[in-house]
Chain A
């Protein structure tokens, strides 16, 4: 489903060159729940960004569903992200100016979906995460756990095959964290492929497979 070969990421400024990822090879199969672990600054988020086509590698090849994406235009990449990928971020990244339901609808804005259909799909997604009673609320009126559930609803509303979660429980207490993990596990058992970045060993152990990073290098 997702294949990375010899991926390297270098950040360059005028005076310094930082190797963020070095020779990464990852192969995530359809329906797998994989976690990426490692200490802070080891390149976990960079790797997830590259898998999610949010950032381009300096070297190496990425394949999604068997097709290499290097030559994709901005428009194609956007379409691929829209159809195949759903993102969950540590700091939620909800748009505070929009209501919960408007936030959840965002991925559908970039498809040919009617307003009515968008509303219905967003409602269904919010029901899945148990927030159908908060549709008209604004992000600022929600707790951290509720915000993350809205973010999950947004990630799944377009029914993507792959969900990428960047420390989805990082800003939550353990009870709330477990609840979020539970939702992700349910999504996985329903068929979604999930890649999750975490530095919580206990969380990582609950997933199918673990990729360990240290200083930008794959160590397990």
Chain B
């Protein structure tokens, strides 16, 4: 049955090469856009270098202080002290890393100024992430304790600051804001889209200007809590929530002004979502908006395809008449035309996949995003297949319905 449908679909495609070209062109372009978007979303939210353990990581990045009526609100990153007290102490976690949000600095070499992104981290940062050390090693507890002036830099900064001589730079000094730091390691950099690991220079948190000793619950730090397995995430979240619930109100409420404290250990995607949508209502609105945008992206070309398909009904009238006369129920014909359309969509999908690979290669090598690593991996591929299926159904159902409802006697007259 299926082979009979596919044979017909293939022959119909070959019958009018120009129509086929237009149809496939539309499908391919649409699906390419969706596949590149999928790949980009995977780049943003998936587990990739150097945060390849995201599937078992929780992010504590934002503290919200509000009043019980939710009329005024203040939010921002946590203090080092807060994270040490409430995140580092999570017993069910495998490890907890604390790092500052990135800030800006300048380095000077041969009278040239280099603008830098900087980050202050603890030692666990290097275990929770999986940075590739091209040279040297990360700083350790001794460096932290002694407040050593040591840094880990990226390969890009190594090239910018020390040139391309190819010799090792570990042990050399780098002048950042008039303080000399000894380079202790060089890592392959992280893309700026991964804000908790992205930087040009990594300092031990005891280095100057980290402000890690500032009091209060708010500051400039975030934590990544690594659980032992993805299944443990709820337990880790529950443990953190229980610690937060026990924080005395006097620690965060000032004259009963902000007497509600909201701080969560969320998965990366949830933590990202929470920055836009703080409650369930906002979340649903966000999902609806995203859904509508996706539907628009798919819907407009689908409507176009519907038109092309409907205008080609007459061409197939005799076939529809014959199939019905010989016992095809409307439902069988409906499926036949949907399957045909999905088949055509998948051909377009195959072209789109090739085009997406080319676009991704172009984005990765263009330098628009430093260290961009967009890929077509299994999840992206499966989502792309799903997108093809949805597009195929979206553009196929209406023409299929109209075709299946043709009156036999009328159809056979054509």
CB atoms of B329 and A78 under 8 A apart: yes
| Min CB gap B67→A, angstroms | 63
Tally of A-B residue pairs with Cβ under 8 A? 74
**How far does the Cβ of B14 sit from chain A's closest Cβ, in whole Å?**
9
Given contacts A54-B408, A93-B321, A95-B319, contact A74 B329 (CB under 8 A): yes
Binds A, one of B1-9, B201-209, B352-360: B1-9
- Does A154 belong to the interface (CB within 8 Å)? yes
Q: Are A109 and B1 in contact (CB under 8 A)?
A: yes
Cβ–Cβ < 8 Å partners of A83 in chain B: 327
Determine whether B326 belongs to the interface, using a CB cutoff of 8 Å to chain A: yes
Decide: A97 near B15, CB < 8 A? Known: A54-B409, A102-B4, A110-B332. yes
Q: Are B7 and A107 in contact (CB under 8 A)?
A: no
A82 touches B326 (CB 8 A): yes
User: Are B8 and A95 in touch, CB under 8 angstroms?
Assistant: yes
Within 46-92 of A, Cβ neighbours of B (below 8 Å) are at 46, 49, 52, 54-55, 74-75, 78-79, 81-83, 86-87, 89
Residues on B with beta carbons closer than 8 Å to the beta carbon of A111: 327
Tier of interface size on chain B: 20 to 34
Assembly CA distance A106 to B409 (angstroms): 18
Over the window 302-335 of chain B, the binary record of Cβ atoms lying under 8 Å from chain A Cβ atoms (1 yes, 0 no) is: 0000000000000000110111111111111000
Write the chain B residue with the least CB distance to A50. Answer: B409
Question: What B residues does A110 contact at CB under 8 A?
Answer: 326-329, 332
Q: Do A98 and B329 touch (CB < 8 A)?
A: no
Cβ of A8 within 8 Å of any chain B Cβ, yes or no, is no
A167 close to B (CB within 8 Å) = no
A154 CB contact (under 8 Å) in B321, B326, B409: B326
Chain B 393-409 against A: per-residue CB contact (8 Å), 1 yes, 0 no?
00000000000000111
The closest CB in chain B to the CB of A166 belongs to B412
Q: Which residue of B lies closest to A157 (CB)?
A: B326
Q: Which residues of A contact B328 (CB under 8 A)?
A: 78, 109-110
Contact of B8 among A52, A82, A97, A107 (CB under 8 A): A97
CB <8 Å contact, B407 and A93: no
Q: Measured between alpha carbons, how far is A116 from B1 in the docked complex, in Å?
A: 12
**Alpha-carbon distance A89/B331, docked complex (angstroms):** 24
CA distance A93 to B325 in the complex (A): 11
Q: Report if B12 contacts A (CB, 8 A).
A: yes
Cβ contacts under 8 Å, B319 to chain A: 95
Residues in A with CB closer than 8 Å to B145 are none
B16 is an interface residue with CB less than 8 A from chain A: no
Min CB–CB distance A54 → chain B (angstroms): 4
* Chain B residues within an 8 Å CB radius of A54: 324-325, 408-409, 412
Residues of B contacting A49 with CB < 8 Å? 408-409
Q: In the assembled complex, how far is the CB of residue B402 from the closest CB belonging to chain A, in whole angstroms?
A: 15
Are B327 and A98 in contact, CB atoms less than 8 angstroms apart?
Answer: no
CB contacts (< 8 Å) of A81 on chain B: these are 324-327
B11 at the interface (CB under 8 A from A): yes
* Chain A residues, CB < 8 A from B408: 49, 54-55
In the complex, the answer to whether A93 meets B330 with C-beta atoms within 8 Å is no
Q: CB distance B7 to A93 under 8 Å?
A: no
Point out the residue from B7, B321, B326, B331 that lies within 8 Å of A97, measured CB to CB: B7
What CA separation (Å) do A121 and B15 show in the bound complex? 29
Interface-central residue, B7, B8, B326, B412, by most chain A CB under 10 Å: B326
Smallest CB gap from A52: residue in B: B325
For A49, the closest partner residue in chain B by CB is: B409
- Given known A-B contacts A78-B327, A93-B318, A109 and B409 have beta carbons under 8 A apart: no
Q: Which residues of A contact B4 (CB under 8 A)?
A: 98, 102, 105, 109
Name B3's closest neighbour in chain A (CB-CB): A115
The smallest beta-carbon distance between A151 and chain B, in angstroms, is 9
Contact of A106 among B15, B322, B412 (CB under 8 A): B322
A46 to B408, CA, bound (A): 12
Docked CA distance A102–B10 (Å): 14
Contacts of A106 in B (CB 8 A): 322-323, 326
In the complex with contacts A97-B12, A102-B7, A109-B4, A55-B409 CB distance below 8 A: yes
11 A-B residue pairs with CB within 8 Å: A46-B409, A54-B409, A55-B409, A79-B327, A93-B322, A95-B8, A95-B319, A97-B8, A107-B326, A110-B332, A158-B326
Given contacts A78-B328, A79-B327, A110-B328, list 15 more A-B pairs with CB under 8 A: A49-B408, A49-B409, A54-B324, A54-B409, A74-B329, A74-B330, A75-B331, A83-B327, A93-B412, A94-B322, A97-B11, A97-B15, A102-B7, A109-B4, A110-B326
- Top 3 nearest A-B pairs (CB, nearest first) are A82-B327, A97-B11, A78-B329
